[in-house]
Structure 1
Amino acid sequence: MDKSSALTAFGALSQSTRLDVIRLLIIAGAEGLSAGDLAGKLDVRQNTLSANLTVLLNAGLVSNRREGRSIRYFADMSQLRALLTFLLEDCCGGNPALCQPALDTLACC
């Protein structure tokens, strides 16, 4: 990920509803969530959610799939990993052992 893409992603995540959406989609995993489910879980109007989802889509942090009249959204885990990698690529002055506690905290159980 280049600096410009990282700045776009961080900008997209710098709003409360969008950050909540990403966190819910990460939890949902491969199943994703429909726009209606997201709106209900976040108690947000659908038109407000739609605008926020567009920002996340344009930043490459989510993807979507039409299912009949509904649209299902998914966290783009490869883009999220790329963002974390960009942020941590020079972590700990080249001493990976110093980063291990943070990586252990992030590791899935």
Structure 2
Amino acid sequence: MEQENAILALAALAQPTRFQAFNLLVRHEPDGLPAGDVAKTLAVPQNTMSSHLSILARAGLIRPERRSRLVVYRADIAALRELTLYLVKDCCGGRAELCEPLIAELSPCCPPLKVSP
């Protein structure tokens, strides 16, 4: 990830409604939510939510999918992973012991996938 893309993503998330919308869409993966449902859930007017969703989409954090007459938004989990890795990669200056608490904190919520033989 380039620094400019990371800044764009962080700027998009630095607004409370957009942050809440992104978290809501992450919780509704992989199905996503129609734009109107996002607006209703967060009690935000639909035209205002449309602007917020556009900003998140331009930042690459969410993706719109047209399903008949609905536009369903999904969180881009790969983009979230890339942003997270960008923020923590080399954060410890080669001192892995400094990052161990972060990794330990993430491990319970995201156990490694078991591969079948």
TM-score (norm 2): 0.87
Letter in 2 for 1:61: L
Instruction: Note the C-alpha offset of 1:68.
Output: 1.4
- Greater alpha carbon shift after TM alignment, 94-103 vs 1-10: 94-103
> Percent identity at matched positions?
43
Residue matched to 1:57:
57
Higher relative contact order (CA 8 A, sep 6+): 1
Residue matched to 2:104:
104
The structure with more radius of gyration: 2
Structure 2: segments with no counterpart, 5+ residues: 111-117
Counterparts of 1:1-109 in structure 2, within 5 Å, are: 1-107=1-107, 108-109=109-110
Instruction: Note the C-alpha offset of 1:106.
Output: 2.4
Instruction: Note the C-alpha offset of 1:53.
Output: 0.5
**Within 1, Cα distance between the matches of 2:74 and 2:46?**
17
More helix by share: 1
Letter in 1 for 2:25: L
Q: Secondary structure at the match of 1:73?
A: strand
**Within 2, Cα distance between the matches of 1:13 and 1:20?**
9
TM-score (norm 1): 0.93
**Within 2, Cα distance between the matches of 1:37 and 1:106?**
29
Structure 1: segments with no counterpart, 5+ residues: none
Q: Secondary structure at the match of 1:29?
A: coil
**Within 2, Cα distance between the matches of 1:98 and 1:2?**
24
Instruction: Note the C-alpha offset of 1:96.
Output: 2.4
Q: How many residues align?
A: 109
Q: Secondary structure at the match of 1:92?
A: coil
Instruction: Note the C-alpha offset of 1:101.
Output: 2.0
